[in-house]
A and B are shown apart, each in its own frame.
Chain A
Amino acid sequence: MSSTKYILGSFADPDDMMHGIDKLQENNISIYDCFTPMPIHGIEAKLGVKPSRLPIAAFCFGITGLVSGISLLYYTIVYDWPMNIGGKPALAMPDFVPVSFELTILFCALGMVATFFFRNHLFPGRAPRVMDLRATDDRFIIAIDAKENTDYEKINSLLKEAGAVDVLHNERKYVSYE
């Protein structure tokens, strides 16, 4: 057994990388993940990544905000201390709209982004787990787990054939740790 942990196919062009994914999948080689400097449309379908459920989370947060807003207004100006302003009713629904709306948006945005950061383990100070430092610059990386896929020669040639400019055999999973 070699000490290689991950094989990285480094592509200079996103279309070549997509081609590489096809090649590897035709040969039953499982792909660990891809790292790209920009979003690649259509890659999720190729890799079988399920659609994100964040919109559902966003909707739930939004509803929470709406209910919180209306409850806050109802409690403060209708229930707890109704004010008589020119004899008008305390429960003035049109006046509820702006604040309830703003709170809906606020809860929705903050909740959704917090969920995104939580699910992807993004937070200030987290050590970046980067497999190739050029993946945020100009390289499109396919990472293959070398313990699961042991036919290195074949992987090398498949990646090269698809147009990889470089194939790396990394002994460490992440190169970004100091």
Chain B
Amino acid sequence: MSSHNESILREPLITGKDITYAQVTNDILLPVENKPNKAWWIGFTLASLGALLWVFCVSYTFWVGIGAWGLNKTVGWAWDITDFVWWVGIGHAGTLISAVLLLFRQNWRNSINRSAEAMTIFAVICAATYVVSHMGRPWLAYWIFPLPNQFGSLWVNFNSPLVWDAFAISTYFTVSLVFWYTGLLPDISSVRDRAIGLKRRIYSILSFGWNGSVKTWQRFEIVSLVLAGISTPLVLSVHTIVSMDFATSVIPGWHTTIFPPYFVAGAIFSGFAMVQTLLLVMRKVMNFENYITMFHIESMNKIIMTTGSIVGIAYLTEFFIAWYSGSEYELYAFQNRAAGPYWWAYWTMMTCNVISPQLFWFKKIRRSIPISWVLSIVVNIGMWFERFVIIVTSLHRDYLPSSWAMFYPTWTDVGIFVGSIGVFFTLFLLFLRFLPGIAIAEVKLLLKSASLQQKAKLIAEGHQAPEQVEFFKDSLVKFDSITQEEINELK
């Protein structure tokens, strides 16, 4: 049933008055069916300039080799792997939102899953480029996959986490892409059936001939559910395996069993922060305030706070175990992180990741859009520093003090990183221009149960307990898309 009555104690997921199914389609397709506005062009110009910088720096790296980077004999992994792990981490929120929240029946995922999944795919693309370019001979990147022996003398070493990583990242990318695109089919069809001419032809090809019959929807829902079920362990396995790239080595500071859960929490943390960064801008620029409400923003802030706290506990545990284990090398690695030459990176990480998300305990901060936006960026800066601290500070104090060194990035390092952000935003802006940024069908599913107008109707019918109505009205005060008059009208 599309209109079961949901308790008014739950906050509405769609606000606005007299929203019809047609209006949902109109609102969400507005940016797809019309010429982009100035904000989009400014963003797109900046992003594509960044993407050009990326093309230039990666080409330069391919041309002269890894020597273009600031790596040295001691620090053999630095910005490349830092950026890789950062992007993969960001790429975790999309699948988490679409899979885990689907399994837990968190309906608020319906209006944010599409853009978060798109973000996942673009972030994994950015991450994959580092893997390929750090190999030195990128044209032989396929050697990481098991190929028949004629290609070389040996098979790949399946005991190595780096090989696991190749399997994990490529599986993750493929499954996320399939999940995202299958979900897009009904929405692409909505664009198709409203378009004419060449546009209809293009969207027709993209829509795979979707028609929305009973059997199609039935299978679609089963496919979504099973994909969610298998993506949940997948998303956890991916960052677990990424953490094993470090944890299975014997470098002090890396060789810890806490890494898998700690990395997964960190990935969700940074992923949600990036979703928040993008969505807060998107809802404003594209007028999605009725679909991405204050409830969504607050829920995401709560997740950022929770995962941030898990990450904080992990940092403290690491430090404690470094001392408690009695391993002097481990303890030195951690003392060096906090007070060595990279102390500033360590304390930036601590401030951004442990202290700043704790601000979300305050309702005022959690519900403030500008502060949430700034904090989401602070979190992502912190998460970049986390990977930098783990990688560079553990490596730069080599086993022999004569090999101790510092890492200084070159312009190519910086250019590839800044450029990859440009690539990410270019892809994301193109996505918003040509594909529906919100899952239309899934939002329609909520229209007759979890929307404000439906709850207002329930209240108007007069069978709700007065104290529940009061509670509901109080919970609406935080919504920036509901005016005080609208709240007063409810009775």
Contacts and interface: CB of A to CB of B under 8 A. Distances in A.
Interface of A: 12, 14-15, 18, 33-44, 47, 49, 51-52, 54-55, 58, 62, 72-73, 76-77, 80-81, 83, 85, 92, 95-96, 98-99, 101-103, 105-106, 108-110, 112-113, 116-117, 119-131, 133-138, 176
A14 B164 contact: no
A124 B189 contact: no
**Lowest 6 CB-CB distances: which A-B pairs, in order?**
A126-B209, A138-B22, A138-B21, A76-B155, A122-B208, A98-B164
Given A14-B3, A112-B223, A128-B192, A35 B213 contact: yes
Contacts of B156: 76
Given A14-B448, A15-B2, A136-B193, A37 B218 contact: no
B217 interface: yes
Nearest to B221: A39
B186 A113 contact: no
A98 B237 contact: yes
A44 B218 contact: yes
Contact of B211 (A52, A62, A98, A129): A129
A33 to B, nearest CB: 5
Of the listed residues A33, A47, A127, the one surrounded by the most CB atoms of chain B closer than 10 A to its CB is A33
B158 interface: yes
A152 to B, nearest CB: 23
Of the listed residues B161, B192, B214, B444, the one surrounded by the most CB atoms of chain A closer than 10 A to its CB is B214
Chain B binding surface SS class: helix
A102 B168 contact: yes
Interface of B: 1-3, 20-22, 25, 146, 149, 154-159, 161, 163-164, 167-168, 171, 174-175, 178-179, 182, 185-186, 189-190, 192-194, 204-223, 226-227, 230-231, 233-234, 237, 241, 244, 440-442, 444-445, 448
A120 B174 contact: no
Contacts of B3: 14-15
Contacts of A102: 164, 167-168, 171, 234, 237
A54 B218 CA distance: 10
Contacts of B179: 109
A92 B159 CA distance: 8
A119 to B, nearest CB: 7
Contacts of A123: 208-209
Contact of A58 (B21, B209, B226, B440): B226
25 contacts: A14-B448, A36-B214, A38-B217, A39-B441, A40-B214, A44-B218, A54-B222, A54-B223, A55-B226, A58-B226, A73-B158, A80-B149, A83-B154, A98-B164, A102-B167, A105-B175, A105-B233, A109-B230, A116-B219, A119-B219, A123-B208, A126-B209, A128-B192, A128-B210, A133-B193
Contacts of A113: 178, 182, 223, 227
B207 A128 contact: yes
A34 B161 CA distance: 50
A45 to B, nearest CB: 11
B158 A76 contact: yes
